[in-house]
Amino acid sequence: MHCKPPFTPAERERLTAAVASFPRFCILVAGDLMLDNFIWGEVSRISPEAPVPVVEVTEEVPLLGGAANVVNNIVHLGGRVAVTGSIGSDPAGVELRRLLEQRFIQTDGLVTEDGRPTTVKTRVIAHSQQVVRFDRELSVPLSGAASEQMLRYVRERLPHSHAVIVSDYAKGVVTRVFMDALRSLVAGRGIPVIVDPKVQHREIYRGVTMITPNHHEASRMTGIPIHRDNGSLDEAGRRLLDDLQCETVLITRGKHGMSLFSRGKPRTDIPTVARRVFDVTGAGDTVIATLSLGIASGLSAFEAARLANIAAGIVVGEVGTAAASSEQLQAALADC
């Protein structure tokens, strides 16, 4: 195991130059698009009908969620993006499309399937604390026609893309058929495929460039309980590398930072830089967006992971689905 100390001036300069170069690179994002609805309010009493708080609503804010939040992060970081996924022919789908277009993100890769709702996650927050979350979704696999429409978009955009992100929230978009076709499309192109995985889809990620599970997901994907000891973490990371035949595995570990596993190298731990943690919502989206732009810009997996760790430290200090900007990332780098 190797734990990297703070940045040297040369390392900081290299990462700073990489962030400045992000506008040159386009990331293709495929996955489960969502609308994150935040209801903000205050609690001053308990309901007389049941022992639950009464939230007096003060504001309701729709935000991009799931794979759409990955897209949002890429744009905030200065990168270019192409996106494909499924939305419903419903008001939530109209709103999700509007939010993307508001950020000047092209929506021609969005697929509308009749009878399938847009995934919506609604969070009620009072006094900076999440009170409850309720979801509207349908998690059955996309139809063959809808999946093929997505793959046609991928074929069109790959020649203009520098990396592919698969943002899998297990809502039916990322299937074995889709992943098999994606692997065939990127074969021989030298384009990295980076996956934010779901446990139940473990086998379909075989052969991708990198996966980014959190420590709970890594434990469930390998059947190895990950404790505070280095041995269980090492065993889980190495098993994922071997079983999935990917080049690198980045396990995010919350307040303990990240651990990077690469073939033929010792595990590298990256301590967290977060000074405060208000909300981890969307932090994984920030990590994979920053990772992909970093790798596209020529950084090594380790360098890109250190950059992603800094970006994650920015967004967990904010409540709600947040995104780190290139300016924030540059400022945070200067302080490291």
Q: Which of 115, 93, 98 is nearest to 34 (CA)?
A: 93
Distance CA 151, CA 201 (A): 19
DSSP state of 214: B
41: tokens are: 């309010």
Alpha-carbon distance of 300 to 268, in angstroms, equals 13
CA–CA separation, 274 vs 315, rounded Å? Answer: 9
- Asked whether the beta carbons of 79 and 70 are under 8 A apart, the reply is no
Give the span between the Cα atoms of 33 and 23, in whole angstroms.
23
What gap in Å lies between CA 318 and CA 316, rounded to an integer?
A: 5
Question: Distance between CA 166 and CA 146 in Å, rounded?
Answer: 17
Q: Rounded CA gap, 20 and 326, in Å?
A: 8
Catalytic residue among 32, 168, 196, 285: 285
> Is 195:210 a contact under the CB 8 Å cutoff?
yes
Q: Which two tokens stand for residue 321?
A: 């689905």
DSSP 22-83: GGG-EEEEEE-EEEEEEEEEEEEEE-SSSSSEEEEEEEEEEEEEEHHHHHHHHHHTT-EEEE
The rounded Cα 139 to chain-centroid distance in angstroms is: 19
Judge whether 285 counts as a catalytic residue: yes
Strand order in the sheet with 193-196: 2-3, 268-270, 258-262, 248-252, 210-211, 193-196, 163-167, 26-31, 80-87, 110-112
Which residues are catalytic, by number?
285
